[in-house]
Amino acid sequence: MNRQEYMEKLSKALESFGSDIKEEIVSDYEEHFNDGLANGKSEEQIISELGSVEDLVKELKDLSNGAQDNVDEEAQREKFEQQAKKTFDDISKAFASFVGSMAAGITKGAGKIGEELSGGAGDFAKSMSNAADVVANKSKQFAKDIAESYRNARGPVETEEQEYEGEELITSVAFSDITEVIAETDCADIVVEPSADGSVHFDCDYDATPGQKLGYKIDYHCEDGKAYAIIKKKSATSGFFKKLLGPETLYVKIPDRFERINLSSLSGDVDVSNVTVKRADLKTMSGDVVINAVNNKDVYASTMSGDVNAVNLSAVIAELKTISGDVEFSGDSENLSVSSTSGDLNVKAERTKVVRAVSVSGDINLELEGIDGYNAKVDTKSGDIDLFFGNEAHEDVKRGTYTLGSGACDITASSVSGDIKVEA
Amino acid sequence: MNAQFKKGALELCVLSMLTGGDRYGYELTDAISKEMEIASGTLYLVLRRLKEENLVTTYLRESENGPARKYYHLTEEGRKNQRELKDEWLAFTMVMSKILSENE
């Protein structure tokens, strides 16, 4: 088959899809042929790349399934409108005949006025009641037809919306006497802020069309002093198949000196600021973890592809992990552990007793304050190692264990290809 | 391959390729066919659909040789959609790898 034959076949096969679609695809294909030929391809090669006309037609049907639904809906609406119009016409006709017979009755009555007055009146009344019956029956049928057509045309949508309304009601709640918060989201960011009234508050802005909200659930509940907020798609992968839109952010407000927060998001960020919590577990797959001015006993933060950024964090134990992002820490922590596979680790810490820093290809920078010395076990395959403490300096040293000052702070730092620098 | 799944994947491919700048049909389809076994015709259908959904717009621009080419441009909405689909795709592949590796 050559270009001309192929294009003729295409043109013919697309006939049934309407001239807009046909013309657009034909012109796309013509352009593709021109570019392909200009790139030194043969007509046969281009034809095989484009694929068979039969396959295209099949895919055009498959790929436009969604659009096809719209067409069906359109057709149904049209059918409904036609039915409504027909019923309306019937009613009009019945009404016309009612008026007609009324007029006939009057004429008849008037013609025989005097001698047959009662008879004329009787006829008039009879024809009127006949016509009224016709109208009444037609009206009933009309109402029935409308209800049925409406159900046919709108039925499934109506059910879904009802179902959805039940869930949409709550985007904001408050729970009291709570010691622990568990929040899970897929796309939404999680933001934790202090609460002003001692209660736990969950709140999310939800700005989307009913259709986009259909696949989402917002579940807030509490049990045994724990408050749960779960914002997720009903099915993890439904977004491929249907356009869905979830809330962008879940706001969590917690009282001061809170026991525990356990937050996880798939692709959203986790952002905690200005709170005091005994234990915080913060997880995200592809988002960032941001901690600002937080007082913790223990904090565990991890992300796969995002950064972990902790500023003014005060924690007894702090464990900050990422795979491909960077870790930044500033604050104080007795026992600090930071790790990243390919990112850098930057730490500015006060009063630390134990620091563990592990990276594969990133650099490690530790600036430690308020300590009177450290014992560093350092290792890198191809990076440089520089260690400073006051006036003491060990520059460009090999892997090994070095004691500076009192050696009180226990440091372990290892990287494969990154540099390691410790300053105190 | 499931038609809907394929549609999602190809839409994400095309949208992602447009994040770096406007491209014309042959450029897009040629680059994608080099990576995967896919009829270019299918990609034109995907492009048509993206245009219908206002995720891309098109315009004609003269080419050095031959008639004008149709260029595809990513809209703001398309850009947003690309990010969302990408996140979904990454989450999906992570979940898949997890399940596959756990059940080897």
Q: Which among A50, A70, A207 is the top mutation candidate for probing chain B, defined by the most B β-carbons within 10 Å of its own β-carbon?
A: A50
- Residues in A closer than 8 angstroms to B28, CB to CB, are none
Asked whether residue B18 carries a pLDDT value surpassing 90, the answer given is yes
Q: Which helix (H) or strand (E) holds A144?
A: helix A117-168
User: CA of A259 to nearest chain B CA: how many angstroms apart?
Assistant: 30
Q: Is B32 on the interface with A (CB under 8 A)?
A: no
Cα–Cα distance, A138 to A17 (Å, whole number): 39
Alpha-carbon distances of A43 from A31, A352, A356, B1, B34, rounded to whole Å: 13, 72, 63, 28, 18
User: CA of A263 to nearest chain B CA: how many angstroms apart?
Assistant: 17
Cα–Cα distance, A264 to A183 (Å, whole number): 6
DSSP SS3 for A323? coil
Nearest CA-CA partner of B87 in B95, B99, B76: B95
- Return the number of other C-beta atoms located less than 10 Å from residue A145's C-beta: 16
- The predicted pLDDT at position A150 comes to 44
**How do strand A400-405 and strand A226-233 relate by DSSP bridges?**
unpaired
Q: Is B4 on the interface with A (CB under 8 A)?
A: yes
| Contact yes or no for B42 and A59 at CB 8 A | yes
Mean per-residue pLDDT pooled into runs of 10, chain A (424 residues): 94 91 93 92 93 90 55 53 56 54 46 43 50 53 50 40 46 90 91 93 81 76 92 64 72 93 91 92 90 87 90 92 91 92 92 92 92 92 91 90 92 92 93
Q: Tally A–B CB contacts below 8 A.
A: 108
Tokens coding B83: 């990010």
Cα–Cα distance, A337 to A411 (Å, whole number): 10
- Which DSSP string do the residues of A18-29 spell out, in sequence order? -HHHHHHHHHHH
Residue B91: which of A35, A50, A186 has the nearest Cβ?
A186
Q: Please, which pLDDT band fits residue B96 given cuts at 50, 70 and 90?
A: confident
What residues in chain A have their Cβ under 8 A from chain B's Cβ atoms? Answer: 21, 24-25, 27-29, 31-32, 34-36, 38-39, 49-52, 55-56, 59-60, 62-65, 67, 186-187, 236-237, 239-241, 266-267, 285-286, 304-305
Alpha-carbon distances of A108 from A94, A111, B9, rounded to whole Å: 20, 5, 79
Q: Which among B51, B87, B90, B92 is the top mutation candidate for probing chain A, defined by the most A β-carbons within 10 Å of its own β-carbon?
A: B87
Q: Which helix (H) or strand (E) holds A367?
A: strand A364-369
Portion 44-63 of B in contact with A at CB < 8 A = 44-49, 52
A2: left (phi over 0), alpha (psi -120 to 50) or beta: beta
Cα–Cα distance, A54 to A101 (Å, whole number): 62
Cα–Cα distance, A297 to A259 (Å, whole number): 10
User: CA of B2 to nearest chain A CA: how many angstroms apart?
Assistant: 10
| Contact yes or no for B39 and A50 at CB 8 A | yes
What residue of B is the nearest CA neighbor of A265? B91
Residue B40: which of A39, A49, A304 has the nearest Cβ?
A49
Spacing of C-alpha B39 from chain mean position: 14
User: CA of A253 to nearest chain B CA: how many angstroms apart?
Assistant: 27
Residue B40: which of A51, A304, A305 has the nearest Cβ?
A51
- Residues in A closer than 8 angstroms to B25, CB to CB, are 28, 31-32, 35
| Contact yes or no for B88 and A63 at CB 8 A | no
| Contact yes or no for B3 and A34 at CB 8 A | no
| Contact yes or no for A267 and B4 at CB 8 A | no
Mean pLDDT along residues B70-90: 91
Nearest CA-CA partner of B19 in B61, B63, B78: B78
CATH class of B3-102: mainly alpha
Q: Which helix (H) or strand (E) holds B72?
A: strand B69-74
Nearest CA-CA partner of A215 in A234, A198, A188: A234
| Contact yes or no for B90 and A267 at CB 8 A | yes
- Residues in B closer than 8 angstroms to A21, CB to CB, are 48
Residue with tokens 């409108």: A81
Domain ranges of chain B: 3-102
Q: What's at A109, amino acid-wise? A: G
- Residues in B closer than 8 angstroms to A285, CB to CB, are 90-91, 94
User: CA of A237 to nearest chain B CA: how many angstroms apart?
Assistant: 6
Q: Please, which pLDDT band fits residue B1 given cuts at 50, 70 and 90?
A: low
For the stretch B24-47, pLDDT in tens is 999 999 999 888 888 899 999 999
Tokens coding A107: 């004429």
User: CA of B75 to nearest chain A CA: how many angstroms apart?
Assistant: 17
| Contact yes or no for B87 and A286 at CB 8 A | yes
Q: Please, which pLDDT band fits residue B79 given cuts at 50, 70 and 90?
A: very high
Mean pLDDT along residues B61-76: 87
Tokens coding B99: 């399940």
Cα–Cα distance, A289 to A283 (Å, whole number): 7
- Residues in B closer than 8 angstroms to A60, CB to CB, are 45
User: CA of A45 to nearest chain B CA: how many angstroms apart?
Assistant: 12
| Contact yes or no for B39 and A186 at CB 8 A | no
